[in-house]
Structure 1
């Protein structure tokens, strides 16, 4: 089974908004897990400020077909800036939260995508 990528230029505004919202929710969840892991008990409301920033950057950069080696550093810099602003920690601790956020996001995405592929490839 070959999975073809969805081209955003042919997507409706509702589909784009849904993609941004889903990605923002996913990144908010992983940001909260990372912040809770590093900083201890933190309110989940703060994570809902962090998630939309890299989500919007990712969708906009894909829509304009900008290269990944530009998109990832910009998204990471914006994510780190928002983390620093929202949680008010020093630069070193913010960098650690950012690192954990990246790791948790990648691990959770791999698990969810792998599970989806297993379910879709099931016989019958």
Structure 2
């Protein structure tokens, strides 16, 4: 068993990378619903759900509670950042969840394949 130590740098790095990934997928979701949008607006969306995820997992909160809190904050940030009606915000949030799930699954499968590569 490989013992890994958790350092403040590793927590910060994980949070920043997750925030950037969520911002990228938020931009994809916003483009899907609204068309051509400013990519800088998506940078407002990713950090708070990333912090909720990292902090919630650090305190070993139930996954359903973390997911619900992240979704509520995600929708609120879409509403605040893009100033759209609730229906458009709900669609963007749903597409954000789908795109994030698909891309993270793809990255997970790719990393497993690379890790199991012979040689």
Q: In which range does the TM-score fall when normalised by the shorter chain?
A: over 0.9
2:113 counterpart (103, 114, 118):
118
TM-score normalised by structure 1 residue count: 0.91
2:82 equivalent to 1:87: yes
Match of residue 72 from structure 1: 67
User: Secondary structure at 1:89's aligned position in 2?
Assistant: coil
Tell me, in whole angstroms, the C-alpha distance in 1 between the residues paired with 2:76 and 2:24.
Answer: 18
Count of residues in correspondence between the two structures: 118
Tell me, in whole angstroms, the C-alpha distance in 2 between the residues paired with 1:34 and 1:113.
Answer: 21
Runs of 5+ unmatched residues, structure 2: none
2:28 equivalent to 1:15: no
Runs of 5+ unmatched residues, structure 1: none
Question: How does 1:1-80 map onto structure 2 within 5 Å?
Answer: 10-80=5-75
TM superposition outliers: structure 1 runs of 4+ over 6 Å: none
2:94 counterpart (83, 91, 99):
99
Match of residue 103 from structure 2: 108
Say what the alpha-carbon RMSD is for the aligned residues.
1.4
TM-score normalised by structure 2 residue count: 0.95
